[in-house]
Amino acid sequence: MSVWGALVGGFVGTLVLTTILRAASELRITRVDLPFLLGTMVTGDRKRAKALGYVLHFFFGLSFALGYLAIFSALGYAGWLAGAVLGVLHAAFSSTALVNVLLPVVHPRMGDPSTSADRVALLEAPGFLMLNYGIATPLVMLVAHVAYGAIVGGFIAM
């Protein structure tokens, strides 16, 4: 188990996760766009938001990989299966508490149930399990995060 394994796994895992989400969006399976969601936190410019969002998404992907390393170090075990299990927990956290409790507090352009008619939000609130972005979104998020976790776990175990 090493930091380098976690960082390489985090990069590859984030690349795969992002590709799965982008493909699902392009195929109209879901409307979720995590880089746009993150990018609109720092800018109202839609094009800039996408670019900055990808940078932020990879930063968070590497950060979560270091978190996985810390968990695996505490457990004394790492592997792709353990990573996949953490990926399930990661997906559950990301699709519930993160986007519905924590993100709306700091996101200046996200709508929420208390958004008034005279305030126009740039971004629709994701809702529980991100269902506002489509009925298949929870499954897409689960698959993408399990893949991320398995990849990170596998690289950390090397």
pLDDT at 110: 79
pLDDT at 118 over 60: no
Domain span at 56:
3-157
Tally of domains in the chain: 1
For residue range 69-106, list pLDDT tens digits in order: 999 999 999 999 999 999 999 999 989 888 877 777 78
Q: How far is CA 140 from CA 30, 100, 112, 131, 132, in A?
A: 8, 18, 23, 11, 13
Buried b vs exposed e over 73-110: b needs ≥16 C-beta within 10 Å? eeeeebebebbbebbeebbbebbeeebbeebbeebebb
For residue range 8-49, list pLDDT tens digits in order: 999 999 999 999 999 999 999 999 998 998 898 898 888 899
What percent of the chain is helix, strand and coil (3-state, nearest 5)?
A: 70, 0, 25
Global pTM value: 0.89
d(CA 103, CA 94): 10
